[in-house]
Chains A and B, each alone.
Chain A
Amino acid sequence: MRALPVWSAVSAAVLTAALAAGAATRPALPSADQVLQAMLDAPGVVDYEGTKVMTVVRGHRAETVTVLEAYKRLGRLRLEFLSPEGVAGRLVVDDGAAAWQYEPSHHLVIQNPSFARPAVAPQAADVRRQSLVAVLGREEVIGRPAVVVVLEPRAGGPSRRYWVDEVTGVVLRTEERDAAGEVVFTSFFTRVGFGLNVPAALFRFTPPAGARIVPLYLSGDPMDSPQALAHLAGFPVAVPASLPFGYRFRTGTVTRRGPLVAATAVYTDGARTVTVFQAPAARFPLPPVGAPLPVGGRQGRVVEVGYFRVLLWQAGSTTAAVAGSLPDAALALVAEAVTP
């Protein structure tokens, strides 16, 4: 049984009703550009803290994750996972310099790089270039007026609906649908409070006494050209300057983790990201995971991660992977572009 489509049908009905009711009495809807701009500005404008429920559906299974989320300008983040059991108690504190993760069940602290990337600073125009954007109407989310906007990527792939708080530009609710129109990811606040000053102390992390601390940085210095990355890798890799669908090379690095050495290239179309990994096949055999997908006549495999997918394949002496939120056919095209 698939339950989420039922739910989305309900929300569509609510939306229609809200539209009908709102048309006569409410002020005019903002334009798509205005909504996009409010969303892009929000991270610099307002702090918030709330409880968020996320659900991910893959095939016939779903998982629900509840998390306390607090955000402070610019880019500081605190996540406390409440459920399911497997992640309950996990704490992630991003203080802008590092993202600290605490796993209470193992009394383990992991030091990740901060999630706040050096700003890609996309413009509303970049977003509109890669997606069709439409304002659907107004709807209340947890008692707050929100504008509903839909983004359909021109290259295909999941479409996303955002319920954007009219006052702050913060997304109160998200719904992602696959090509068949089924809801595959939802995320919504069940409670949220906005302020201009969520206390800084929430975004400081002190490792608990006696905890084991494991630093997990991104490996290697970033390379700003495809040539530099190809040169540094030390094994044959293909690093084109651009990929299909308008993705351009942004940065690269040589990733090392235990036995794994991979050349990692990050591409962007201005708003979204695709990452390409290439490793010597001798050290990294194709893992037997995911669903089969042919890549240029070779066997590839797709792993669904919920928010994006990873396509792995082997060509000659290289095992490669591409990660992004693109549909199968588009992922396969990207894969062929980097196959030597």
Chain B
Amino acid sequence: MSHHRLSRQLSAYLDGELTAEDEQEVREHLARCEACRDELRQLQAVRSLLRRLPEPQAPEDLWGAVRSRTVRALPRRRWPARAVLAVAAAAVVVLLALPAVRTRVDRLRAAGVGVDVFVREHALATAGEPFADRAYLGLLISDASAALAGVPREEERR
């Protein structure tokens, strides 16, 4: 490849998006070509500048505005028969037969801080287990952490 053609590969080289051979060729060219090394440094600086840009916070009222034009804008209709949700729906129907209450919270509340600490530390220690359910451990840990951080249990909601 010519210098000109190689210099156009520099961005992709930087991103690791070249094939192994092209990458090797660019690397060899860079070792010889001061101008391309300079250009690579500049491209890298631009990329890191863009990566450091702060995230513009969406205005608070935007989501309300979106809701009022979507989920709140339409008349009530029949339930959808979405294949995706069929599995979940079947499970929910079965489970609705039981009072779906968060019994764990009630049980743990009386135990005070001690049991929360034990549950949390054990769940964190368990998180390394190969077949642990990440979502469920996350729930246990976040429940216990919330209690330890002083979030009142949800008894008021019932």
Decide if A and B touch, CB cutoff 8 A. Answer: yes
B98 nearest CB neighbor, chain A only = A62
The answer to whether B87 touches A188, judged by C-beta atoms less than 8 angstroms apart, is yes
Inter-chain CA distance A303–B114, complex, in Å, is 12
The answer to whether B112 touches A272, judged by C-beta atoms less than 8 angstroms apart, is no
Q: Which of A25-33, A81-89, A240-248, A331-339 forms part of the interface with chain B?
A: A81-89
The answer to whether B125 touches A310, judged by C-beta atoms less than 8 angstroms apart, is no
B141 within 8 A of A: yes
The answer to whether B149 touches A110, judged by C-beta atoms less than 8 angstroms apart, is yes
| Residues on A facing B (Cβ under 8 Å) | 1-4, 6-7, 39-40, 51-67, 69, 71, 77, 79, 81, 84-87, 90, 92, 94, 99, 101, 103, 105-106, 108, 110, 112-113, 115-120, 122, 127, 142, 151, 160, 162, 171, 174, 185-188, 190-191, 206, 209, 214, 216, 218, 255, 257-260, 262, 264, 266, 271-273, 275, 277, 279, 284, 287-290, 303-308, 310, 312, 319, 321, 323-324
Inter-chain CA distance A71–B133, complex, in Å, is 12
- Closest CB in chain A relative to B102 CB, distance in Å: 5
Known contacts A3-B97, A61-B98: does B87 contact A190 (CB below 8 Å)? yes
Known contacts A69-B135, A190-B88, A289-B107: does B151 contact A216 (CB below 8 Å)? no
The answer to whether A119 touches B128, judged by C-beta atoms less than 8 angstroms apart, is yes
Known contacts A7-B91, A308-B126: does B110 contact A52 (CB below 8 Å)? no
- Closest CB in chain A relative to B48 CB, distance in Å: 15
Inter-chain CA distance A183–B52, complex, in Å, is 49
A306 nearest CB neighbor, chain B only = B104
Inter-chain CA distance A272–B115, complex, in Å, is 20
Interfacial chain B residues near A57, Cβ < 8 Å: 98
Inter-chain CA distance A283–B66, complex, in Å, is 53
Known contacts A257-B113, A273-B126, A310-B118: does B131 contact A115 (CB below 8 Å)? no
- Closest CB in chain A relative to B121 CB, distance in Å: 6
Inter-chain CA distance A21–B141, complex, in Å, is 42
Task: With A4-B95, A216-B145 given, name 6 new contacts (CB 8 A).
Answer: A61-B101, A85-B154, A103-B151, A117-B125, A257-B148, A273-B129
Known contacts A64-B100, A115-B134, A305-B104: does B110 contact A260 (CB below 8 Å)? no
The answer to whether A101 touches B122, judged by C-beta atoms less than 8 angstroms apart, is no
Inter-chain CA distance A39–B150, complex, in Å, is 37
Interfacial chain B residues near A53, Cβ < 8 Å: 88, 91-92
The answer to whether B145 touches A110, judged by C-beta atoms less than 8 angstroms apart, is yes
A-B contact count (CB 8 A): 238
Give the size range of B's interface with the partner.
Answer: 35 or more
B18 within 8 A of A: no
Interfacial chain A residues near B135, Cβ < 8 Å: 52, 54, 65, 67, 69, 79, 187
Interfacial chain B residues near A110, Cβ < 8 Å: 142, 145-146, 149
- Closest CB in chain A relative to B155 CB, distance in Å: 10
Q: Which of A63, A160, A264, A288 contacts B131 (CB 8 A)?
A: A160
The answer to whether B114 touches A216, judged by C-beta atoms less than 8 angstroms apart, is no
Q: Which of B57, B95, B115, B157 contacts A55 (CB 8 A)?
A: B95
B40 within 8 A of A: no
Inter-chain CA distance A209–B149, complex, in Å, is 19
Inter-chain CA distance A275–B101, complex, in Å, is 28
A101 nearest CB neighbor, chain B only = B142
- Closest CB in chain A relative to B17 CB, distance in Å: 13
Q: Which of A64, A69, A209 contacts B95 (CB 8 A)?
A: A64
B84 within 8 A of A: yes
The answer to whether A61 touches B103, judged by C-beta atoms less than 8 angstroms apart, is yes
The answer to whether A324 touches B122, judged by C-beta atoms less than 8 angstroms apart, is yes
Nearest 10 A-B pairs (CB), nearest first?
A117-B128, A323-B122, A115-B127, A86-B154, A190-B88, A287-B111, A275-B122, A289-B111, A62-B98, A214-B149
Known contacts A39-B130, A120-B129, A287-B111: does B94 contact A3 (CB below 8 Å)? yes
Q: Which of A63, A117, A191 has the most CB of B within 10 A?
A: A63
B16 within 8 A of A: no
Inter-chain CA distance A40–B132, complex, in Å, is 11
B30 within 8 A of A: no
The answer to whether A92 touches B136, judged by C-beta atoms less than 8 angstroms apart, is no
Interfacial chain A residues near B134, Cβ < 8 Å: 69, 71, 77, 79, 115
The answer to whether B139 touches A81, judged by C-beta atoms less than 8 angstroms apart, is yes
The answer to whether A287 touches B114, judged by C-beta atoms less than 8 angstroms apart, is yes
B124 within 8 A of A: yes
The answer to whether A142 touches B118, judged by C-beta atoms less than 8 angstroms apart, is no
The answer to whether B126 touches A62, judged by C-beta atoms less than 8 angstroms apart, is no
Known contacts A106-B151, A262-B117, A289-B110: does B141 contact A63 (CB below 8 Å)? no
